[in-house]
Amino acid sequence: MQRFEGNRVGPDGSIQTIVLEVNDGQIQSVKTYDQVDETLPFIVPGFIDVHVHGGGGADTMDATNAAFSTIAQSHAKTGTTSLLLTTVTESVDAIDKVVTLAQEFIAAGAEVGAGVIGVHLEGPFIHPEKRGAQRQDMIIDPDPVLASRWFDSGVVKMITMAPERPHALEVARLAMEQGIVVAAGHTKVGSEGLYAAGKCGFSHITHLCNAMDPFLHRNVGPVGHIIEDEGYTGDMICDGIHLSAAMVKALVRSIGTHRLMLITDAMRAANFRDGKYDLGGLQVSVENGECRLEDGTLAGSVLTMARAYKMVQKLAGITAREAEQMASTNPARKIGLDKKGRIKVGYDADLAFLDNAGDVIRTVVGGKIVFEKSIQAKS
Binding site members for Zn(2+): 122, 186, 207
Binding-site residue positions for substrate:
133, 210-211, 218, 242, 298-300
Question: Would strands 368-372 and 290-292 be described as parallel, antiparallel, or unpaired?
Answer: unpaired
Work out the angle at residue 51's Cα, subtended by the Cα atoms of residues 163 and 321, and round it to the nearest 5 degrees.
110
Q: Rounded CA gap, 98 and 61, in Å?
A: 6
Binding-site residue positions:
122, 133, 186, 207, 210-211, 218, 242, 298-300
Q: Rounded CA gap, 82 and 157, in Å?
A: 13
Write out the DSSP string of 206-272: SSTTTTS----SS--HHHHHHHH-TT-EEEEE-SSSSS-HHHHHHHHHHH-GGGEEEE--B-TTTTS
Hey, which residues are catalytic here?
265
Q: Is residue 273 within 8 Å of 285, Cβ to Cβ?
A: no
| Axis-axis angle for helices 245-255, 305-316 (nearest 10) | 80
Edge-to-edge strand list for the sheet holding 15-23? 26-32, 15-23, 2-9, 42-45, 351-354, 360-365, 368-372
Torsion (CA) 309, 311, 316, 317 in degrees, nearest 10? 80
Question: Would strands 202-205 and 233-237 be described as parallel, antiparallel, or unpaired?
Answer: parallel
User: How far apart, in Å, do the first and last CA atoms of the chain sit?
Assistant: 36
Question: Would strands 260-263 and 115-122 be described as parallel, antiparallel, or unpaired?
Answer: unpaired
327 SS3 class? helix
Q: Is residue 277 within 8 Å of 284, Cβ to Cβ?
A: yes
Q: Rounded CA gap, 336 and 96, in Å?
A: 24
77: Cβ contacts below 8 Å, ≥ 6 apart? 113, 271, 360, 363, 371
